[in-house]
Every structure is written in structure tokens, then in C-alpha cells.
Structure 1
């Protein structure tokens, strides 16, 4: 399975955020979109999910042009997007969040046992790292074909961040993550990396081709 952008352009009003971006993300496996804030990596995820329209180019899924397929239909076909913010229902409890779309929350708790004592808490009261665990635990149990995650390890401690990437890497899905730096757990692996700057791809290759990582993006203290 391959999810691709072909000469994709995205505009926000008068500003163009993507300048003819072309990239492939094969699956199963992890593809990393690297770039600083404003590089276009989040816009790439949103374009792939159908959350923003293209002003030019195409989104291709398994050889089929899905550019005009709406976001809800892409979700029905097995695409899940976990945005950087507002990825959980803050007014619902952790248990209620897990029960949305999941017949059995047990696999989610297996992925992140830290959520067990928090089941009765409202999701909006959790720390940033705990909210990321909750959002990801639902995706990990959803049997999705495509998983798009914006900064999955944000707010997590290094051990939890490393486990998160191990869980994502084990999925039988095309997994695309957006990060500011290459996660240490992926350094030296055959994960595909696309680096973006100012809305354009400046590097495409394997993670092993990049230099030594500077550190995990997650900077929190979630145990």
C-alpha cells in the first residue's frame, strides 16, 4: 500500500503552504515528515486526510486518485488522523473516550497501562502526554489502514515516547508521523524520511542516511 502526494499545492488565503510537494509513504511501515514549525509537515498530513483542499496536484491512495474524496469517506476507508491539538474529547472521561468506536478498551489499556487509573477522569484534565496516550491508544486499537499522527510523542517522557514508536512501528498500516527531529528509536532503521522546509521537500531517503539525532521531541515528564 502506498499513499502519495503528487505535485500538491495548498493555499491558506493568499499564502501558499505547499509548493508542489511530491512524496510517497509505503505501508506497512513508518514514514517520518521532518521539519520545523511552518515547514508544511502538518499541512501534508491534513492534505492526505482531506482536511484541507488542494489548490493543485493530487492525493493518490493505492494507485487511485482520491483528491476529491471527502475526509469522512477517507476515514470510512480506514484512514485515521491524530492532530497535534484537540485529539480527544475533553468533556468526556477517559473511559468514554476509549469506548467511542472501540468494542473493548482492553487493548488500549494494554498499550498504555498508565491510563488505567485515569479511566474516571475527564480527558480535558489530563496532562499533554496523557492526552497523547489516550488519543493514540484509540488509533492503535482501530485496525486502521492509514495512520497519520502529528507529533505523537509530544509531552511524553523518553521511555513512553520510545514505546509509542515501537507500537506505531508494529502496526499493519501505513503510518505517517510529523516530527521536528528524528526520534532516536528510529535512528539507523529503514524508516522512510521526508524533510520539508518552507513548503517544499528538501530530502527523501531512509532514516539511516541522516546524521545522529538531536533528541526526542517529547519534552514532558509523563511517567
Structure 2
């Protein structure tokens, strides 16, 4: 089992603090969701785990090892893969070249997303938003990483492809953490750990079923309309 966590993490962008002592943990194999609206800190939390933004306080701990001062490059070498919300692919390279950078054989990526097959010779930068997300996620599938971090994995995808994407991520033998604005419909009624962030702080941590019941009850505790 793999465990990765932020412990009392603080991140600053100049004079503004984006994370105010955030503590979240994720275990794998399994899926953890960081929920929150734009500006909530969910993307910053994902980047802090990956090491692409530095902490101004707190720690990143992976399987008992403090990674706070370990570079993003070294974290990737140890088995961490980040799929950012944007720039998740190399736009000047073809789809085939993007896949070959991850593994010499990319059959698994085409099995995961058959629509990529006729696009192999296209430059990634010319693909639609949904097609680029398919390519970005398929690269993560090929990475065989121990920790997979994905910011809005289904952005721009049709409902059917989005559901397929979450099936693929849930089946990985890895600790998978995704950042989303809302709980994806495909995860409703299924086991997943949820951490909800608001204005840089954690306001809920628990199972997805508990989160759904809490959301349905509304702020007063009575069922919402």
C-alpha cells in the first residue's frame, strides 16, 4: 500500500496564501478526490504534492519519507506522475510521439481510448480539448506510476468517455488523486475518499457516500431541494 499526504501545508503566491495549513491523505491502490471551486486551493494542493509549487510551511510525506525538499523531477523518478489541467501533452509532437515518450509500446493507450488510433499522426496541439485530455490521461496510464495526480481528468470529454476515464483511473494499481470542481457523476454511490477545500482550507474529509449525504442535506441539515 502507498500513502501520500500533505501535513499542515501552506503555499504562498507572493503576498497571498493559497493553502492555510492543509492536511489531507490518500492511500493506494485507490481513488481520492480533491473537491473545490476555482480558487479553493485544490489545484495548488495537487501541485504541492507533485513538487511543482514549494511549500512555505508544513510537509509532503510519501510512505513515511519527507519529500518536502525533494524536487518535482526526483519525485517523478520515484514514481509520481502529474497530469496538469492544461499543458498535459506536448503540442508540437504527434500523438504517437507523445505516447512513445512514455513507453515503447503504447497498445494499452489505444485499448483505453480507441479514438486516439486514427489521430496518431496528428500534432497534439491540433486536437480538441477532449482529445488532448484522452492523450494526457493515456500517457499517465503508460507511466506505471505509484502515485498519479490528475487535475480535472474528464474536462472536455463526453459523459461516456468521462465515465470510461474514471473506470481506467479507478482500476490502476496506484494511489490516484484527482482534483475536480464537483463530485463526478460516475463516482456517486461508489467508494472513494473525498477532501473538500474552500478558500485554502479543508472543510470536509471522508467517504464519498458521507459527502453525498451531507451535500443532499444542505447547510441546515434538512434535505435540500
Shared fold (TM-score, shorter chain, > 0.5): yes
In the alignment, which residue of structure 2 is the partner of 1:204?
Answer: 205
Q: Distance in 1 between matches of 2:14 and 2:105?
A: 43
Provide the TM-score with structure 2 as the length reference: 0.93
- Residue 141 of structure 1 and its aligned partner are, at CA, apart by 1.5
Q: Distance in 2 between matches of 1:182 and 1:66?
A: 29
In the alignment, which residue of structure 1 is the partner of 2:34?
Answer: 33
- Residue 189 of structure 1 and its aligned partner are, at CA, apart by 1.6
- CA RMSD between the two structures: 1.2
- Residue 210 of structure 1 and its aligned partner are, at CA, apart by 2.2
Q: Is the 8 A contact 2:41 2:201 kept in 1?
A: yes
What does residue range 1-223 of structure 1 map to in structure 2 within 5 Å?
A: 1-211=2-212
Instruction: Provide Cα deviations, 1:62-110, integer angstroms capped at 9, x if missing partner.
Output: 0111101111000000000000001101011111111112110111100
Q: Is the 8 A contact 1:35 1:41 kept in 2?
A: yes
SS of 2:139's equivalent in the other structure is: helix
Q: Is the 8 A contact 2:169 2:176 kept in 1?
A: yes
Q: Distance in 1 between matches of 2:166 and 2:50?
A: 21
Q: Distance in 1 between matches of 2:191 and 2:170?
A: 11
Flag structure 1 segments of 5+ consecutive residues without an equivalent: 215-223
In the alignment, which residue of structure 2 is the partner of 1:221?
Answer: none
Q: Distance in 1 between matches of 2:76 and 2:142?
A: 15
Q: Distance in 1 between matches of 2:29 and 2:20?
A: 27
Q: Is the 8 A contact 1:115 1:130 kept in 2?
A: yes
Using the TM superposition, name which of 157-166 and 101-110 deviates more: 101-110
Instruction: Give structure 1 regions of 4+ aligned residues with deviation exceeding 2 angstroms.
Output: 210-214
Q: Is the 8 A contact 1:189 1:206 kept in 2?
A: no
Q: Distance in 2 between matches of 1:40 and 1:100?
A: 31
Q: Distance in 2 between matches of 1:123 and 1:168?
A: 22
Provide the TM-score with structure 1 as the length reference: 0.94
Q: Is the 8 A contact 1:29 1:173 kept in 2?
A: yes
Q: Is the 8 A contact 2:130 2:154 kept in 1?
A: yes
- Residue 142 of structure 1 and its aligned partner are, at CA, apart by 1.4
Q: Which has the higher helix share?
A: 2
